[in-house]
Amino acid sequence: MGLNKKDFTLLIIVAILCVFAPFILNPFPEGSAMAQFNAGYPDLMQRLVIFGIFAIGFNILFGLTGYLSFGHAAFLGVGSYAAIWMMKLLTMNVIPAIIISVLVAGLFSLLVGWISLRRSGIYFSILTLAFAQMSYSLAYSVLTPITGGETGLQPKVNDPRILDGALAAGETPRANLFGLQMNQSYEMAVGNWVFTFNAGYYLAAIVMLIAFYISIRIFRSPFGMMLRAVKSNQQRLNYTGLNAKPYTLAAFVISGMYAGLAGGLLVAMDTQVGAERMFWTASGEVVLMTILGGAGTLIGPVLGAGFIKYMENIVSKINKSILEQWFAFMPDGIEDLLITLVYPFIGKGWHLTLGILFMLVVIFLPGGLVEGGQRVGRLFKRKKPADDKPDGKTTPAE
């Protein structure tokens, strides 16, 4: 596979987590008070891995070269539109849709990168932001014939779809992989638990594993080393006979293609697109995911994406009556006080929770969740020699 032992182990661990995600994310039995923390339903699991892909790609640009793009949602959106048009014109099979979404996003990012990379630092960020907002506005208004404007696009019964046969009467077009429908699920009930195995999720997970594998290869390649050199010292790079621009542009296009892939997969799972997908908050979200997880690390962006998407779906579902249930055992006065204190952070206020967590991570764990994991790991390593030597003389861990 061309990976060293450590990277290969990481890839295998991620693969195992993906395969068993329907179990891992559903630890609480149905109907229990904790059941709302279960994340093992298809829609959320699909989002976890798809935004993982988005963040992995973003990390190739931001984590390696240090160029902070604030417009990557534009590539995700363009990929989505390309995918839905494939479904309208060619076939409801997701393969052409996914391939075209990557290619179109790649071309668009080549154009945006070519122009934006004339500047670096904050000016680069602003240029990418401007491009993304222009794309959003265009998709929302001027380009309505192509993008569906406010209403967005979805496959209609009377679309041409030249590769598919005619639909039977009353049948609606559904995304599929050679007949296997993406929303098809198999439910397994074990005692009080219900585990859902969804075709779309497993397709997205396989694509994510391939994307993750390619990202490891890029990180460990001479090209990846050059990208880190760009981040470290462009002056020295220039005086070493290397031109930084093609390196940064290649990284930009690669990360744009990852974003397009994520956009295409979103359409494959849920066949509709709206312009809000390209809004600047969506671009900001992938920045948060990457930094929260650990920019420049392999697994960080995946963790960050998973963390944020989990929070978004789970914390936002907690409402006042659930809080009342939780705090019911307390005396009335204290119960009301606690509910008043916690209430702003749940439901629609989940952004507040996310913001606080983000601040805590940036201040106390500048390396993101990955650094947190490493610190915990070191803590355990340090304890081991102490066990071996009962006299208490410990050697510091390296």
Partner 1 sequence: MGILEVKNVGKRFGGLQALGDVNLSIAENSVHAIIGPNGAGKSTLLNCLVGKLIPDTGSVMFDGQSVLGRKPYEINQMGISRVFQTPEIFADLSVMENMMIPCFAKRDGAFQLNALSSIPSQRDMIERAEHMLEDMNMADKRAMHAGSLSRGDKRRLEIGMCLSQEPRLLLLDEPTAGMARADTNNTIDLLKQISEDRDITIAIIEHDMHVVFSLAERITVLAQGTPLVEDTPDNIKGNPKVREAYLGETQDAA
Task: State the nearest-atom distance from the C-beta of 310 to partner 1, in Å.
Answer: 31
Member of 28, 37, 223, 310 binding partner 1 (CB under 8 A): 223
**Residue whose CB is less far from partner 1, 316 or 374:** 374
Task: State the nearest-atom distance from the C-beta of 119 to partner 1, in Å.
Answer: 17
Binding status of residue 119 toward partner 1 by CB under 8 A: no
Binding status of residue 370 toward partner 1 by CB under 8 A: no
Q: Is 4:221 a contact under the CB 8 Å cutoff?
A: no
Binding status of residue 210 toward partner 1 by CB under 8 A: no
Binding status of residue 225 toward partner 1 by CB under 8 A: yes
Closest Cα to residue 194, out of 310, 36, 23? Answer: 23
Task: State the nearest-atom distance from the C-beta of 373 to partner 1, in Å.
Answer: 21
Binding status of residue 235 toward partner 1 by CB under 8 A: yes
Site residues for partner 1, window 2-41 (CB under 8 A)? 2-4
Binding status of residue 286 toward partner 1 by CB under 8 A: no
Binding status of residue 218 toward partner 1 by CB under 8 A: yes
- At 298, phi and psi to the nearest 5? -75, -50
- One-letter amino acid for residue 366 of the chain: P
Binding status of residue 329 toward partner 1 by CB under 8 A: no
Q: What is the contact mask toward partner 1 in residues 240 to 279, using x (rule: CB under 8 A)?
A: xxxx--xx--x---x-------------------------
Binding status of residue 228 toward partner 1 by CB under 8 A: yes
Binding status of residue 214 toward partner 1 by CB under 8 A: yes
- Where is 391: in which H helix or E strand? none
Task: State the nearest-atom distance from the C-beta of 255 to partner 1, in Å.
Answer: 12
DSSP per-residue string spanning 184-253? -EEEEEETTEEEEEEHHHHHHHHHHHHHHHHHHHHHTSHHHHHHHHHHH-HHHHHTTT--HHHHHHHHHH
| Angstrom distance (rounded) from CA 90 to CA 100 | 11
Strands (E), the chain: 176-177, 180-181, 185-190, 193-198
From residue 315, alpha-carbon distances to 34, 134, 324, 373 in Å are: 12, 32, 15, 23
DSSP per-residue string spanning 353-387? HHHHHHHHHHHH-TTHHHHHHHHHHHHHHHHHHHH
**Residue whose CB is less far from partner 1, 374 or 394:** 374
Number of residues this chain uses to bind partner 1 (CB under 8 A): 31
- Residues of the shown chain interacting with partner 1 in the complex, contacts defined by CB under 8 A: 2-4, 214, 217-218, 220-226, 228-229, 231-233, 235-243, 246-247, 250, 254
